């Protein structure tokens, strides 16, 4: 008799637990979704403006960028991600001027640290939030940022006045100093690694002798 009672008790508990579980499932069924179905939602997908996907040059309405090929971003980049190629052009007044030929950026080695953007004296760089950057070959991650054909002539009204040469020289000197410090640190780390030492030894040789 007691075994029949136990049987019906366990069946009741099973039904109760099933109803509780179905209640949770039902509640989640009508709760607004927070996940997105990608790539089906491509047309409506909204990526935060501050998301850093890819370095780009800023272009004005006429298709001009503001890069003056000063090389500060290249010097400041800790990963060697930026490579500038420049060319000398002759101006109408006969003077020569160095101009940007190719601005090459390797997305595959970028750490999105923003050092290049924040130190550019011309405010010529920004990050786009275009996150779809997957490719099948690593070479395709190296991009030429000045991809637009440059309009003829100088801009009628520059959006931003040229930087004071002294200030520019100071920024360049600071960038060179930072780059030299980073290079020295890397060389020291490489030498320590080669000698089998740790980057920050816990005890000196005098401690190990004791």
Assess whether the previous peptide bond of 39 is cis (omega < 30° from 0): yes
Told to check if 146 binds ligand SF4 by CB under 6 A, we report no
Q: Which stretch binds ligand SF4 (CB under 6 A): 79-87, 91-99, 184-192, 202-210?
A: 79-87
- The least distance separating ligand SF4 from the CB of residue 153, rounded to whole angstroms, comes to 20
Minimum distance, C-beta of residue 148 to ligand SF4, in the bound complex (Å)? 15
In the bound state with ligand SF4, the residue whose beta carbon lies nearer, of 45 and 135, is 135
Site string for ligand SF4, 100-139 (x = CB under 6 A): ----------xxxxxxx---x-x-xx--------------
Of 101 and 192, which has the nearer Cβ to ligand SF4? 101
The tokens of 13 are what? 């508990």
CA dist 198 → 182, 193, 201, 206, 207 (Å)? 18, 7, 6, 16, 16
SS3 content of the chain, % helix, strand, coil (to 5): 40, 15, 45
């Amino acid at each position: 008799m007691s075994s029949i009672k136990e049987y019906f008790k366990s069946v009741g508990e099973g039904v109760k637990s099933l109803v509780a579980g179905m209640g949770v499932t039902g509640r989640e069924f009508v709760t607004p979704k927070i996940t997105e179905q990608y790539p089906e939602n491509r047309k409506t997908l909204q990526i935060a403006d501050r998301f850093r996907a890819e370095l780009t040059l800023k272009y004005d309405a006429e298709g001009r960028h503001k890069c003056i090929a000063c090389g500060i971003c290249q010097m400041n980049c800790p990963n060697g991600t930026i490579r500038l190629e420049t060319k000398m052009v002759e101006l109408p007044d006969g003077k020569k001027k160095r101009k940007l030929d190719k601005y090459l950026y390797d997305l595959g080695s970028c750490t999105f640290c923003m050092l290049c953007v924040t130190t550019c004296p011309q405010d010529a760089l920004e990050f786009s939030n275009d996150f779809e950057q997957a490719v099948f070959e690593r070479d395709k991650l190296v991009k030429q940022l000045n991809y637009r054909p440059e309009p003829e002539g100088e801009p009628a009204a520059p959006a931003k006045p040229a930087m004071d040469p002294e200030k520019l020289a100071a920024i360049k000197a600071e960038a060179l100093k930072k780059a030299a410090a980073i290079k020295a640190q890397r060389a020291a780390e490489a030498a320590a690694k080669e000698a089998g030492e740790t980057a920050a030894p816990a005890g000196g040789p005098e401690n190990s002798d004791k």
